[in-house]
Structure 1
Amino acid sequence: MVFKLGNFLNGLTGKSLKTQELKKEKFSVFWGLPIMSSDAISSVAYAGEEILWILVPVIGLLSYKYMLYASLLIVFLMFMLTFSYRQTIDAYPSGGGSYVVAKDNLGTTAGLIAGASLTIDYILTVAVSASAGTAAITSAAPFLLPHRVGITLGLIILLVIGNLRGVRESSKLFGIPTYLFIISVLSMIIWGIVKIHFMGYTPVPLYKIPEASGNITLFLFLKAFAGGCTALTGIEAVSNGVPNFKEPSQKHAKMVLGLLALIVLLVFGGISYLATLYHAVPNSEVTVVAQISQQIFDKSIMFYVIQATTAVILVLAGNTAFAGLPLLLAFMARDGYAPRQFAKRGRRLNYSNGIVMLGLLSCILVIIFKGDTHYLIPLYAVGVFISFTLSQAGMFRRWIKSRGYAWRHKAAVNGLGALMTFVTAVIIGATKFAHGAWVVFILIPSVVYVMRKIKLHYTEAARQLKLPMDQKPKKIDFASQKRYVIVPIDALNKSFLKALNYARTISDNIIIFHVSVDDAATEKLLKKWHQYGVDIPIVVKKSPYRSIVGPLVKFIESEEYAAGSKDTVTVVMPQFVVTKWWGNILHNQTSLFIKTMLLKRRNIAIVTVPYIIDEG
């Protein structure tokens, strides 16, 4: 079974890698750009649409003018964040992003809030990107709409498998489609502008623009701006994942960050400008990008290329989360604020536990929200801008305290970044609160609470396990201490006999213990016991409530049993092991249940004696 499972895993995720091969599993600039920035690049596919969803129903045709203003403001904010995170990369070459920066400079609580915010954002990134990818697919093939949840779950599973194959393979697997998207969208932007300004084309909207029902207000504009800020998610991932780049990792990370900003400027700015020229009207069945590409290319092959590459990049946006969250969880696990399993590298030298958890939680979100991006996005940008703010504030305090080279300039950049991201976070929280953002304000404190409980558990476990330097192992008089062994029995068979033979090697004080929940079965066992003539006493205790563990523990602690309070009782558990994975489903796993309960008793040692059933 182990051999077959190994072959299956090799086929699914690739052969195991040696620890020494870790250096090869790093991003170059060319392959790091599409993986670490796919979230930010893909967000442009629906960020402009979110702006129009808010403006069009209220101010109609005037929406396209104010959409352009909101887009310019978002681009300015993006460049501020880019300059700020370049300084973070220089200051923290080991990565960790907002969590490490906030924890080092603002305290543990701020670090945990940043970590919780990013964790929630990364999970939402995968759910939103896969759902948006499905929306692009159903825009080109509307007959698939009823199956969008199933399609979205399938896409997430593919992402999990791809990322489990390791950094190098996943970058090549998912990097090429990202470049195809960039090339195809830039071609659409250029041709769309040429078609109107140089060829005299007059665009006709595919859908009727609603009549204005109100006037533009500051609140409405800020609400639209907040919707478009989803274009900025993922920028932090580059500074968070500096260790994923080849040496010199800082230089390569900063190059990727700069290229990312340039691409977002061209693609987001270009699509926003095209939306104002072609007057795309948002609706739940055909995306804005699909409407624009249809007007520019009609239903030619380029239309389907745009839809295909958009669908792929939207799905691959989740790669930013798969590259960022497992690394973030590894940092928190090393500090004791996340389960330690997240700090261990898997077969392919990636943090596979974090990858699997991210995929599982994203699937749950998709099922809850039925794969609708419009319901998921209000939860999306709140957490990331909270982490942005904490990161920028942490860097600002770092420069103020250190007062090193050019500290005033650096403090000014991060200070302005902190102010702008804080204002944006307040705007997003206020405008999207009633639409679902309130959930994030409950989730973040809840996640922080869980992190603190995990830390408390590890601290208490370490305290109790700590061995002082002056405490030497005590000499124990084994001659005066008796060793008692209990062998539970349900049926007299080869599995039990193997356990009994082992028990004889460690003690002469053996008791066979049987819990009777069926009189007929017990009578049959005792009859067989006497037929075999075993010279060891068998103790039978009835359990009217069918509990197995209760009578065993009660017997050990009672005066009926000869063991003293300081004696160790060894319970030898017979357990048969099946070679087929599905065979475990066919057995009640009583021995596993008993072991789980007995482990909580200090004076009980448990030995499992396996008996393998080879099914061929």
Structure 2
Amino acid sequence: MKNLKNYILGKPLKSSDIHHEKFSVFRGLPVLSSDAISSVAYACEEILWVFVPVLGIASFTYLSWVTLSIIGLLAILIFSYRQTIDSYPKGGGSYIVSRENLGEIPSLVAGASLTIDYILTVAVSTTAGVAAITSAFEFLLPYKVEITLFIILIIAIGNLRGISESAKLFSFPTYIFILSSVIMIVFGLIKYFVYGVEPISNPNIPRQVHDLTILLFLKGFSAGCTALTGVEAISDGVANFKEPATKNAKRVLYLLFIIVIVMFSGISYLATIYTAVPTLDRTVISQIASQVFGDNSIMFYIMQFATTLILTMAANTAYSDFPLLLSFIARDGYAPRQFAKRGDRLSYSNGIIFLSVAAGILVGVFKGENHYLLPLYAVGVFISFTLSQSGMVMRWYKTKGKGWKHKAFINGVGAIITFITAIIIAINKFMHGAWLVLVLVPLAIIVMKRVNRHYKRVAAQLSLENNYFPKFSESQAKRFIIPVASLNESVVKTINYAKCLSNDITAFHISVDDAETEKLKMKWKKYSIDIPLVVKKHEYREVVNPLVKYVTSDEFTGGNKDDMITVVIPQFITKKWWGNILHNQTALFLKRILLQHRNIAVISVPFIIEKYED
């Protein structure tokens, strides 16, 4: 099993190798920006889903206005997060910014929102990638859930291999998509404006035109805001960059800004020229590529392949940031401590596994349909945007350093705009599934608070400040009892071990079969076992409760309830992994129950089964 694990995930890395696991600008751009870059593949489509049924052919006239509005919002976010990167060189996601500047509850809201957002990122990205595959190969439509789950598994394995390994694996698809999209945009514009090729008229567009209302515009705007998901990832992952980490992170942020502007505006304009109408069977970007390159051309398939890869690899942004976020939350005591530990390959492997399982469940529940998942998507993102920007405003106000008013103004504008956008998205998408996010965020906060309360109680009871240092005399801690089902070498080894620790040893047997009990007594006498054997008959064939009852009874303790009782359990272990499955593991059940009692200690004495004879 160990060799198989090393083959799949790679050999364990030393802690000192962590500096080799950092991103350069070239590697960091595709890993931390793939979510935002990939969003342009479906953001335009989501706007058209809102406009086309109502506005018909006029939808394409208003598409550009929504696109410009979203690009304007992106510019505000870019300038705001540039300041966050400067202020938090070790990572300044909305959870940390809120924790330091706004307090506990806002930070938990940010943490819960981002948790849900990252899980949705994986589910949405992979299902969108599979939608691109099935647009080109329609015979795969019945298998889209299975394909999506397989892709999630592959990405999880890639990330479990470590940060640098995932960067090597997932950089190529992002650059292929950028290059293919730019070629499509340039060639599509040349084909239309230079060669005068007339687009194929689309019979699916309704000709009846209604007026554009403010409400409809806001619905289209909220739908297109999916293009902004993933912008925070760079400020979250500053610590993952090579030195100078802050400069490298800002360079990636600026490159992301330029790329999204070119691609989002270009694809939206091509959608207008070639009147691409979204359907569940074929994406807008595949319809554009079909008209620009031709259905059976190599470039059409390259574009579909590149779109599939980038949409799939967009999930890698979540895999890069979410385990790190969860480690921060765990260190603060609001998530299980296991999430704060690095795995063999220096990645936060428990967070990666949790993310994969949660996203896989979502894919199964929503049957791999990307269009049904998207309404849940952007609400949590903009909640975290708002909290991050608000936290930065409070930071500037408290510190009042050089140019603080100018900086506070930038973050303040970002906070107001993202807050308004969050409300618009929540209202417009409430009935389409956004209500679920608004329910899940408070539930996640309750869970985090309960986890934190547990850790605080444990810490309070373990603290040396309690001045409670229990001491035991020999008479209080030398009472040993050995549960016995039958007499064998494992039991004899346990008895001999117990004799090294105490002379006060009792063997205890639960009689559920008279014949077996008689065999035990005969063996006990035959091999001259020189410790007393207590036999208790039990009609209901239980083992654990009768043992606990006897150990805590006056018959055994002599009324001294404060005495420590040590239960020594024989436990045999097979070297073959499947061997343990064939046994009932009574020792494990006994330990779990016995350790819930304050004055009972448990010792397991292993007896390893080494040889198997045919």
What TM bracket, shorter-length normalisation? Answer: over 0.9
Among candidates 451, 460, 469, match of residue 457 of structure 2:
460
Which residue type is aligned with residue 422 of structure 2?
A
Structure 1 residue 484 displacement after superposition:
1.0
Number of the residue aligned with 2:527: 532
Alignment of 1:363-442 (within 5 A): 363-442=360-439
* Higher mean C-alpha deviation, range 515-524 or range 347-356: 515-524
Supply the distance in 2 between the matched residues of 1:475 and 1:210 (Cα, whole angstroms): 84
Unaligned runs of 5+ in 1: none
Equivalent position SS for 2:327: helix
- d(CA) in 1 for partners of 2:194, 2:209: 35
* 1:25-72 Cα shifts (integer Å, max 9, x gaps): 100000000000000011111111111111111111111111211111
What is the TM-score when the length of structure 2 is the normalising length? 0.97
Q: Quote the Cα distance in structure 2 between the aligned partners of 1:477 and 1:16.
A: 45
Q: Distance in 2 between matches of 1:542 and 1:240?
A: 62
Counterpart AA for 2:16 = Q
What SS does the aligned partner of 1:573 have?
strand
Shift in alpha-carbon separation, 1:389–1:527, aligned structure 2, 3 A: same
CA distance in 2, matches of 1:214, 1:434: 23
RMSD: 1.6
The letter of the residue matching 1:375 is Y
State the shift of 1:334 in Å: 1.2
CA distance in 2, matches of 1:501, 1:266: 77
For the residue of structure 2 that corresponds to 1:437, the secondary structure is helix
CA contact (8 A) 1:149 1:370 kept: yes
For residues 193 and 513 of structure 2, the distance between their equivalents in structure 1, rounded to whole angstroms, comes to 88
Q: SS state of the match for residue 330, structure 2? A: helix
1:543 is the counterpart of 2:538: yes
Could you tell which deviates more after superposition, 510-519 or 318-327?
A: 510-519
| 3-state SS of 2:48 partner | helix
Q: Find the counterpart in structure 1 of residue 563 from structure 2.
A: 567
Equivalent residues of 1:206, 1:291 under 8 A apart: no
Q: Does 1:30 align with 2:26?
A: yes
Question: SS state of the match for residue 574, structure 1?
Answer: strand
Alignment correspondent of 2:74:
78
* Cα offsets for 1:505-535 (capped at 9, x unmatched): 1111111112233444434433443343323
Query: Given the alignment, which residue of 275, 286, 297 partners 1:290?
Result: 286
Quick one: structure 1 residues 205 and 612, their matched pair in 2 at CA, closer, same or farther if it must change by over 3 Å? farther
**In 2, are the aligned partners of 1:96 and 1:331 still within 8 Å (CA)?**
no
SS in 2 for 1:180: helix
1:5-404 map, 5 Å: 5-205=1-201, 208-212=204-208, 214-298=210-294, 299-404=296-401
Q: Quick one: which amino acid aligns to residue 4 of structure 2?
A: F
Structure 1 counterpart of 2:579, from 567, 572, 583? 583
Instruction: Please give the alpha-carbon distance, in whole angstroms, between the structure 2 residues aligned to 1:544 and 1:584.
Output: 28
Mark the CA change 1:229 to 1:502 in structure 2 (over 3 Å): closer, same or farther: same
Alpha carbons of structure 1 residues 153 and 472: separation in structure 2 relative to 1, 3 Å: closer
Contact 1:205 1:280 in 2 (8 A): no
CA contact (8 A) 2:507 2:534 kept: yes
CA change 1:435–1:494 in 2 (3 A) is same
| Cα gap change, 1:483 to 1:291, in 2 (>3 Å) | same
Contact 1:577 1:611 in 2 (8 A): yes
- Quote how far apart the aligned CAs of 1:556 are: 1.1
| In structure 2, C-alpha distance between the alignment counterparts of 1:615 and 1:388, rounded to whole Å | 61
Q: Any gaps of 5 or more consecutive residues in structure 2?
A: none
Q: Which secondary structure does the structure 1 equivalent of 2:335 belong to?
A: coil
Q: Which residue of 2 aligns with 1:517?
A: 512
1:126 is paired with a residue whose SS is: helix
2:498 — aligned with what?
Answer: 503
One-letter amino acid matched to 1:163: N
SS state of the match for residue 314, structure 1?
A: helix
Q: Give the Cα separation in 2 of the matches to 1:103 and 1:223.
A: 32
2:595 maps to which of 590, 595, 599: 599
Q: Please, which moves more after superposition, 412-421 or 555-564?
A: 555-564
SS of the equivalent of 1:150 reads helix
Shift in alpha-carbon separation, 1:398–1:106, aligned structure 2, 3 A: same
In 2, are the aligned partners of 1:580 and 1:615 still within 8 Å (CA)?
Answer: no
Give the TM-score of the pair, scaled to structure 1.
Answer: 0.96
- The answer to whether the 8 A contact 2:477-2:565 is kept is no
CA apart distance, 1:166: 0.7
- Cα pair distance change 1:47/1:454, threshold 3 Å: same
1:365 is displaced (CA, Å) by 0.8
- Rounded to whole Å, the distance in 1 between the matches of 2:515 and 2:42 is 68
Query: C-alpha distance in 2, partners of 1:95/1:482?
Result: 51
Please give the secondary structure, in 2, of the residue aligned with 1:506.
coil
Determine the C-alpha separation between the residues in 1 that align with 2:520 and 2:137: 65
Question: What secondary structure, in the 3-state scheme, does the structure 1 residue paired with 2:505 have?
Answer: strand
Per-residue CA distance 1:522-566 (angstroms, 9 max, x = gap): 344334433433232222223333332211111011111145222
Work out the percentage of aligned pairs sharing the same amino acid. Answer: 57
Q: Deviations over 1:409-439 (max 9, x none)?
A: 1111101100110010000000000011101
